[in-house]
Amino acid sequence: MQRSNSILLATFSMVAVLSPAFAAGTDAPAPTAAPSATATPPAAVPPAVSAPAAPVNPQTQAAADAAASADAQALATVNRQLLTAEESVHRTKESVFRAKATLQLLKEIVIEGSANGAHVLILHEDKLGSGFTLSAVTYLLDGQSKLSKVDSSGALDQTRELKVDDASIAPGQHALAVDFKVTPTGFGVFKYATDYSIDVRQTYAFTVEIGKACTIHATISEKGSAADAMEQRVKAGFDMKCETQNAR
């Protein structure tokens, strides 16, 4: 009987405790779990720290800048030299091209001149008498020397005719210049003039037509009389005859 009363008293006590909660219409809060004694908080990650930059040596930087500037100047110099060399090569090529063109033109002129040009034969004739001796002769055709002889012994005077030139010539105008040196022999009234020298210079202009062959006789001879001055006693003369080359 006493045990039953104890159980009944405990039951009423539990009901008394739970009655206010049911009466308010609210649920009793669930009991919270106690934190585990073994859980550890997450470790904090320290922020990344960059290494400090090494200090720049001013002398090293200046040397590097100077080297870079020297390299740039050297490159610019090489570029200028290459450009100059290229221009020189172009000029050389142009000069070679012009030279080839000129050579080809001259070749055509020579070939055409040989076939359709002209020809000239120049002969020297000595017609001096015994009172004079021819000691030197010079012939120039268009400024080019064709004959030059000097002989004071008198041997030149013994050759009465000399071939000065015999070659093809371009059609057109030309000039034949002569220079004769004559010495009196001292014969008769000229004995006082043995040391006297006479220079006879003269230029003969002539024209040669295409397809023609011309012969020019250049002579040195006496003129006048004993009463004339010594330098007027000698003269140079020219005579030219032309014909077609086929008939020559």
Buried b (16+ CB within 10 A) or exposed e, 13-42: eeeeeeeeeeeeeeeeeeeeeeeeeeeeee
In single-letter form, the type of residue at position 86 comes to: E
195 shares its domain with 149: yes
Across the chain, which has 248 residues, the per-10-residue mean pLDDT values are: 53 52 47 49 58 65 80 86 84 83 69 67 92 91 94 79 93 95 70 70 94 94 73 89 78
Q: Which domain holds residue 127?
A: 118-247
Per-residue pLDDT, 28: 46
Q: How many domains does the chain have?
A: 2
133 shares its domain with 200: yes
123 shares its domain with 182: yes
156 shares its domain with 208: yes
Cα four-point dihedral sign 216, 217, 218, 223: negative
| Alpha-carbon torsion, ordered 104, 107, 111, 113, to 10 deg | 110
Instruction: Give the contacts of 129 (CB within 8 A, at least 6 positions apart).
Output: 222
* Residue that terminates a domain, selected from 116, 133, 148: 116
132 shares its domain with 227: yes
